[in-house]
Structure 1
Amino acid sequence: MAVLLVPTRRKQRMKMPPGGPGWRMRCLIGSLLLSLYLGSGLLVQVAAAATTRPPKHDDDDVSKTLLTPDYWPRFGGDRQVVLLDGLWKTAREEPSVNNVDAMDPHFHPSQIDTGDYTSIPSTVDQSPPGTLGYRGVSYFRRTVVTIPGHQPGARLQFQSCGFYCRVWINGHEIGEHRSGWTAFFLDIPPEILHTNGTQEVFVLADNRFNQTTAPVHTGGDFWHYGGLFRSVEWHGQSSKQYNDWPWRLYVLPQSLSTVHLELHLMNLTTQGLVNNITITFDNATQDEALHLSGTAVNGVIDLGIHKVPHPRIWSTHDPQLHVVHVELHGAILSERFGLRLWTVDPVTTRIQLNGHILKLVGYNHHLQWPETGATATRDQLQLDLQLLQQAGSNFVRGAHYPQDPRWLDLLDEHGIVAWSETLGPGVHLEDLRRPLFRKYQEIQMKEMLDYSLNHASIAFWGFFNEGPSDTEEACLTYYDNYNLIKARDKTRFVSYAGNKKVDVCYGAADVISRNCYPTWLSSYTNPDAMWNDFAHQVKTGVFANTTGKPFLISETGASGLYEWDHNETAVRWSLEYQARVIAEDVHVALNNSFISGISLWHFFDFKTEDKFEHDTSCDYLPDVYPPTCGYIDVNISTPHLRPGGLNVKGIVDYYRRKKQPIFDVVALLFNATRNSPNQYELSFWNNINHTTASHRHKKNEQHYNASYLVQQYYWKQKQQRQQVPKLRHGRIRD
């Protein structure tokens, strides 16, 4: 039995209050809890009490199950890799205690009584829309069973820890991290590992906004989650060659049959010649293996360019993937990659995939779910992927932070192009002036590249969503990030989603991307004219540093309340208004030859950050799940508000219910644009009983008139409403 080290001191104020982070045990059914909340009026966080007591058996043993990561890369051979997902002990500060110094140099894990339990990964601040989640300091503790005896060291890898985290092994602090959405690792010195094979991991996580502990968390219109909300891995070993084991093998396609290989060793100080590196592709035999040597410079070995045997091409229609294995000193590392090339057509300035012009059509997509916050289950990821495919998407913009590796794996496997960007909405010029911000922006950029570089789906690296790109001073930091990316990866595009009327930093982008909400947030009332004019100005070089660069609509859309299909008193917030606006945006994006693509904001309605939470309120219908508003108070003249604590610009709602007709309209248009068979039965269109003739754009691009589809839908709805008998004085009118 693994022995959990018992704390020697107890601080009373550290005891877990009701409503702590333990409520998100995987054995609980989140939807049932939320349903009970709606019916009883109790806070959903009270559900935490269900998991704050220890299990009946083996109270101190939280390390029985040994798991291995089910996402890429994969590790094998002599390497001992254990996924630490599962039951952890936990505690957190009382919500009323706000003055805890998370950086206190005198803090020690023995001060904390972690008497409660939670599942990891999980968020510490999950709460329903319209209610503020927990902000404060949380603590996590568990034991790890390793091979007894002396060990040459180990590595602890976190796929995320937010916002600010400190880590101890057996009471010894080994490091910290200050970006909540990027993966990172900390090395464990051999002298602090117990020879009895039982190690204690202790983590402090602070999810409060703070320019020192969370310098890149500058805010933004979405809930910033905290805690250990992605997986944790223990990389152990029993070999003295541990430092020369392969850590990552980065694979960058140079053509549709060749790749450049760069091997990173566990020890980033390794110098000199390294022999006996074995490389195999896919299911190749040892006779087909490459036996290489290379010179390590700071633990990095350039292995050069190699031809992939039997090359298969990755595309949006046929996403073929390869696996490359590297073996060194008994440790095996397997990386997955795709052979594809991103270029720009010199005549049309359109984006090309593998030499063919590709219109990107899709959505912005947060990683957020009602019951689990930022911690997705496999089923949740699969459902979102299925809905995206039904909606005709071949493109997903990962907003606004580096993505979960399991999500990127799915995009790789299903041929959906991805945009990956660093955390950074809400960045202002004052942030760029702060040395600490610039330091940790560089760190999170490097970490995003380190952990996502081999994903075939990623075509764009991004940063500073809606940042201060209208000032020359800001451009210095924009160029720093652009150059950092290009020094590492020249096979993809670099872009940033700007929203300034005058943008002077376009030199720091390969693709011009713009966020704008005509008829909703901006002064533009005609989406067709606005987007056509902007695309023409990019194409003709009216804006500096745009000549020869593709143009992408990175955000656009409008809000629509799921419960309000047709609302005459608040037309602006109805699904009808939303559908008409989005239809115009989509129509111009699909039919303008100068526009390379569009990502609508947003795929689903999502929970917003503190300052937006209490602008409105929703009275939920009792005993109804998914939660449904019976009445909602909304200021119809203020589009910046967030009804019920949600940004409601999705084409599905927070609970993934489809908003009609816009879901079906966009699905029809996007699927037609992709020249692929419709994967989704368009029920509303069948009800209209009308077949739309395809039209030809002057550039011979097939399209449907989006506005016409919406118009026909509501004409049919109006006809149906007029046919329903109306009540008059309690009787059906003749």
Structure 2
Amino acid sequence: MIRTFQQHRLRECHLLDGLWDFVFDKDNIGLSEGWHTSFPAAPDQMPVPACWNNELGKFEYEGVAWYRTRVTLEESRHLHLLFHAVLGHADVYWDGNHLGYHFGGYTPFNFTIPNATAGIHELIVRTDSTLELNTIPYHIVDWFHYGGIIRPVEMQLLPDVSIENMRITYEMTGDSSADIRMNLSLRSLSDSSAEVPVSLYRNGELFHTGNVRLKAGERLELNIEQSWTELVRWEPENPELYMIRAVAGRDDRADRIGFRTVEKRNKKILLNGKELYLQGVNRHEEHPEWGFAFPNKLMTKDLDIILQMGCNTVRGSHYPQSEYWLDLLDERGVLFWGEIPIWGAAFPAEHTDDPVFIQRAMTMMSEMIERDFHHPSILFWSVHNEIDTRSKQAYDLSVKMTELVRQKDSSRLVAYATMHPMTDICLGLFDVIGINYYDGWYFGHTKFEEMLSTFHERCKAYGAEETPVLMTEFGGAGIHGDTGWEPRLFSEDYQAEILSKALKLFRSDTKLSGTYVWQFADTRAQLESFRPHFRDRARSFNNKGLVTEYRKPKLAYRVVKGIYTGCTDPYRWGTTLQ
């Protein structure tokens, strides 16, 4: 399943997942030799979805690769090809014809093919996982450079009139009432005018019906405004969700929403008018056996472990994560920090004003908001992480990005994470500030207290005195099983000691609104044999996880759980999850 619920009941959807023909293009000759019309003979095969680096003999490859599958249509149909995520650059070909290009890695893109003929068709995808100076992420990045088609590929069969998009916005007018606006985008693929009935449902109950007429090939926007009452707000303790379904002729689409308000006031984050204190972890959606092609079953286990730890929030570091994962958070009442993959610790300031980089950042941000807009669990849109926010280039980029987000979605808070809390010049631009600071690890012991004292004073100078502040990264590495009588570097004891001291300090600072421990699980680092970067990553992993890459708990997990839950016995696991 791509979602935890069924999005279409009338529209016929087919997953194209499975084994696709596959070849590496190490010399980048595929375009000049016309592989999109004449695929190489005797290809390898590759699972879709998957990361090729997890397959034998392909671990270190970064670059161009080609995929091919065949599709059989019994009759002529309108097709909608939906790619849920392809890492890096993607060019898509249908029977040798170029449908289009997409750059990104974690958000969906699609193509519509009107009147595709009956018979056997060839679908080819050229991918390129190469990271460069103006790619997002940057070519030096602190996670593994996976490549591949990492999320499902769908073929949807469309009627003559189909639903292109559905968006629901609302303004709360009381504790249990809201003014809602529903925008429905319809498209005709017919060569003649058509009239279709449109029906809208909330939890199965009809709330609007009518007919619309579309001219041949026309796109039409239908806007419905209503006042709703007797609503139950979405809250962590009671994550009430509403299924909204649109039916237009022989097509349909469903999505879920939750009603809540998010605001900031007096350095606090408020959900439905109530102050939040966030207890969370950073989570990469990565596993050594699957890479970024993360299985749904493991998402459920990750969430169970995170909730058992006492967390009420997760930071999606550092890219848009699976829609299935976000659905689980909606259902379980877990708050989410969403962001795009701008990881800037090794990113020179001068590269942040590259026009190609800026356009890619704006597109990624727009695509993430468009895809995830209806998820009530998402409180924050974060525009970048650890870029050089001491520089004018980063300031100018931040202005562009915050303006874009507020234009796209005014219902959430705009955030970022800084690694320069004592010298940052962007503090006044955001609704929420995240601080990434590794006292006890990268810096030795420079003392969190001194950093926070300086930072709080700078907030006053930059007009951010009332801006909520979160500790979004802190911690240290601990190798599972390395324990002893003293807290040595890389031991479980040292990692636990760092986190224990840091969490107790942060929870005593009334100017902080929460914490995100770095990180939930150990993740594969970008440490290939031919690269000079991150040579301090033992086992080729970022070992700062509270659990191992295979989800085995370290001492730090029990320490964080004890602090987050107030449990005096960190080895008590609690009741069995149902």
* TM-score of the pair, normalised by structure 2: 0.89
Out of 492, 497, 521, the position equivalent to 1:580 is 497
> Within 1, Cα distance between the matches of 2:269 and 2:212?
38
Query: Of 522, 539, 554, which residue of structure 2 is paired with 1:644?
Result: 539
CA 260–470 in structure 1, closer or farther in 2 if over 3 Å, else same: farther
**Does structure 2 retain, via aligned residues, the 8 Å contact 1:295–1:302?**
no
Checking the alignment, whether the CA contact within 8 Å between 2:198 and 2:247 is kept in structure 1 is: yes
Return closer, same or farther for 1:119/1:507 CA change in 2, 3 Å cut-off: same
Matching of residue 75 in structure 1 with residue 8 in structure 2: yes
Q: 2:571 aligns with which of 649, 666, 683?
A: 683
Which residue matches 2:45?
A: 117
Query: Which structure 1 residue ranges, 5 or more long, are not aligned?
Result: 1-67, 617-638, 673-677, 687-734
Is 1:139 matched up with 2:66? Answer: yes
**Higher alpha-carbon deviation: 362-371 or 588-597:** 588-597
Aligned to 2:248: 328
- Change in Cα spacing, 1:349 to 1:173, as seen in structure 2 (3 Å) is same
Contact 1:613 1:642 in 2 (8 A): no
Listed as ranges, the matches of 1:437-456 within 5 Å are: 437-456=357-376
Q: Among residues 331, 342, 359, which one is paired with 1:424 in the alignment?
A: 342
Deviation at 1:574, TM superposition (A): 1.2
TM-superposed deviation, 1:87? 2.8
State the secondary structure of the residue aligned to 2:477: coil
Structure 2 residue 118 is the aligned partner of structure 1 residue 195: yes
Calculate percent identity across the aligned residue pairs: 25
Of the three residues 5, 19, 24, the one matched with 1:87 is 19
Pair 1:546–1:122, CA change in 2 (3 A): same
Partners of 1:266 and 1:233 in 2: CA distance: 19
1:522 deviation in Å? 3.0
Structure 2: 5+ residue runs without aligned partners? none
Q: Which residues in structure 2 correspond to 1:17-36 (within 5 Å)?
A: none
Equivalent residue runs for 1:647-658 within 5 Å: 647-658=542-553
1:365-444 equivalence runs, <5 A: 365-426=283-344, 427-444=347-364
1:206 to 2:139 alignment: no
Q: Any idea what the Cα deviations from partners look like across 1:535-564, whole Å, max 9, x if unmatched?
A: 6436xx434131321111111111111121
Structure 1 distance, partners of 2:31, 2:188, is 28
The alignment covers a number of residue pairs equal to 561
The alpha-carbon deviation at position 279 of structure 1 amounts to 1.6
Aligned to 2:86: 161
Structure 1 residue 195 displacement after superposition? 2.5
Kindly report which structure 2 residues correspond to 1:263-662, keeping only aligned pairs within 5 A, or say none: 263-266=184-187, 276-284=197-205, 286=206, 288-291=207-210, 301=221, 303=223, 305-308=225-228, 310-345=230-265, 348-426=266-344, 427-500=347-420, 501-522=422-443, 524-531=445-452, 533=453, 536-537=456-457, 541-566=459-484, 571-610=488-527, 641-660=536-555, 662=556
- Give, in whole Å, the separation in 1 of the partners of 2:254 and 2:501: 46
Instruction: Note closer, same or farther for the CA distance 1:578–1:277 as it changes in structure 2 (3 Å cut).
Output: same
Contact 1:146 1:236 in 2 (8 A): no
User: Aligned-residue CA RMSD in angstroms?
Assistant: 3.1
Tell me which of 536, 554, 560 is aligned to 1:666. Answer: 560
Q: CA deviation at 1:108?
A: 2.6
1:290-324 deviation line (CA, Å, top 9, x unaligned): 5487999x957362543446422211122111110
Judging changes above 3 Å, is the alpha-carbon distance between structure 1 residues 261 and 668 closer, same or farther for their aligned structure 2 residues? farther
Task: Tell me what 1:48 maps to.
Answer: none
Aligned residue for 2:489, secondary structure, equals: helix
User: Structure 1 566/273 Cα, relative in aligned 2: closer, same or farther at 3 Å?
Assistant: farther
Task: Give the Cα separation in 2 of the matches to 1:418 and 1:373.
Answer: 21
Contact 1:247 1:333 in 2 (8 A): no
Indicate how the Cα distance of structure 1 residues 106 and 267 shifts in structure 2: closer, same or farther if over 3 A, else same: farther
Q: So what's the TM-score if we normalise by structure 1?
A: 0.71
**2:362 match: secondary structure:** helix
Contact 1:72 1:405 in 2 (8 A): no
**1:52 maps to which residue?**
none
Find the aligned partners of 1:525 and 1:156 in 2 and give their Cα distance: 53
Matched ranges for 1:692-711 at <5 A: none
Residues 366 and 216 of structure 1: is their aligned pair in 2 closer, same or farther, counting only changes over 3 Å? closer
How far residue 215 of structure 1 moved from its aligned partner, in angstroms, is: 5.5
1:172 partner letter: N
Distance 1:218 1:73, change over 3 A: farther
CA contact (8 A) 1:612 1:645 kept: no
Q: Which protein has the bigger helix share?
A: 1
Tell me how far apart the structure 2 counterparts of residues 535 and 210 of structure 1 sit (CA, whole Å).
Answer: 33
User: CA separation of 1:170/1:615 partners in 2, compared to 1, >3 Å: closer, same or farther?
Assistant: closer
CA contact (8 A) 1:85 1:231 kept: yes
**For the residues of structure 2 that align with 1:143 and 1:113, how far apart are their CA atoms?**
15
- 8 Å Cα contact 1:392-1:671 kept in structure 2: yes
Which string of whole-angstrom CA distances, capped at 9 and with x for unpartnered residues, describes residues 84-105 of structure 1?
Answer: 2223222324xxx3x3156659
What are the superposed Cα offsets for residues 147-203 of structure 1, whole Å, 9 maximum, x if unpaired?
Answer: 403x3x32211111111111111221111111112211123254xx3323x332111
- How far apart are the structure 2 equivalents of 1:292 and 1:528? 64
Q: Which amino acid aligns with 2:117?
A: H
Aligned partners of 2:526, 2:52: CA distance in 1, in Å? Answer: 15
Structure 2: distance between partners of 1:593 and 1:102? 59
Match of 1:174 among 83, 92, 99: 99
Give the Cα–Cα distance (whole angstroms) in 2 for the partners of residues 574 and 612 of structure 1: 25
Please tell me whether the aligned partners of residues 91 and 113 of structure 1 are also in contact (alpha carbons under 8 angstroms).
Answer: no
Rg (Cα) greater in structure? 1
Q: Deviations over 1:642-670 (max 9, x none)?
A: 0011111111111111001x212211221
- In the aligned structure 2, how far is the partner of 1:146 from the partner of 1:119? 22
Cα distance in structure 1, aligned partners of 2:364 and 2:429:
18
Counterpart AA for 1:222: W
Letter of the aligned partner of 2:252 in structure 1?
I
Is the 8 Å Cα contact of residues 91 and 114 (structure 1) preserved in structure 2? no
The letter of the residue matching 1:117 is: Q
Contact 2:136 2:341 in 1 (8 A): no
